[in-house]
Amino acid sequence: MSDQTIPCIELNGKPIPFQAGESIMQAATQAGVYIPHLCHHPDVSPHGSCRVCIVKVNGRVKASCITPAEEGAVVESECDEIRQLRKRLIQMLFVEGNHFCPSCEMSGQCQLQALAYDLNMLDTHFDHFYPNRAIDCTHPDIILDRDRCINCDLCVRASAQIDNKQALSLGGRGQQTHLQANCESGLLKDSGIESQDKAMHICPVGALLPKNNHYPQITGERIYDKAPISEVGNVRPENHQGDQTKGPIS
């Protein structure tokens, strides 16, 4: 096949090749271009719920994780309009939950917080909901802090698609949507989830956390203290050591 026959999209003015069936997000990731995202992870099926991955495709705003790449499509992921919309989405995620960054173990490693910094978010713009959400500490090794959960469904999909467990699910509707343990008691300890599960290593925020991993880095040495998310992408702490990011950047 000659170069001319490989289909390309134009992303931020540059040609990006893709294979048939790939989403814009997948094509961008393979080309090393970071499009901000929260509910997407290359190891599980796309969900299209957080909308943080919005881009302009031929002038229309679309979620890049669920929009197929099409030959010749003109895509913009970092124009002012998209960044402003994205900032509003991040602000909504902040006011919907209870995010006390100062004492959160994932502060400095949290993708939501990192995007807020990257988008120069200086306030929450919207009024806080201050929802009343229960924390689940019943599991001996794992804690689920629903205050910080953004209902991205990543852990749900990871549990079902990679761990083959379906330990978790999203329940409720609208503002009442919440992550629940898929078992009669509704408690994490009875859900079958375990520390080594992929579901435990995919949360973009500090909602699903191991109990024994307390603040491993001082301020200044955490992932996003060192480089913005636009440079290093969505990195989990276990894929990061020193200044090095191990494994593929997503």
Q: Which residues bind other proteins (CB under 8 A)?
A: 100, 102-103, 105, 135, 137-138, 143, 211, 214-221
203 binds ligand SF4 (CB under 6 A): yes
Residue number, 12 or 169, with CB nearest to ligand SF4? 169
How far is Cα 154 from Cα 246, in angstroms, rounded to an integer?
A: 20
207 binds ligand SF4 (CB under 6 A): yes
Interacting partner of 207 out of ligand FES, ligand SF4, other proteins, none (Cβ under 5 to 8 A depending on kind): ligand SF4
| Structure-token pair, residue 210 | 């191991």
Query: CB-based contacts of 244: which residues, under 8 Å, 6+ apart?
Result: none
How far is Cα 35 from Cα 71, in angstroms, rounded to an integer?
A: 19
152 binds ligand SF4 (CB under 6 A): yes
**How distant, in Å, are the alpha carbons of 107, 151, 204, 236 from that of 163?**
27, 19, 18, 18
Interacting partner of 112 out of ligand FES, other proteins, ligand SF4, none (Cβ under 5 to 8 A depending on kind): none
Instruction: Classify residue 119 as left (phi > 0), alpha (psi -120 to 50) or beta.
Output: alpha
In the complex, which residues of this chain contact ligand FES (CB under 6 A)? 37-40, 48-53, 63, 65
Interacting partner of 135 out of ligand SF4, ligand FES, other proteins, none (Cβ under 5 to 8 A depending on kind): other proteins
57 near 35, Cβ under 8 Å?
A: no
Residue number, 7 or 210, with CB nearest to other proteins? 210
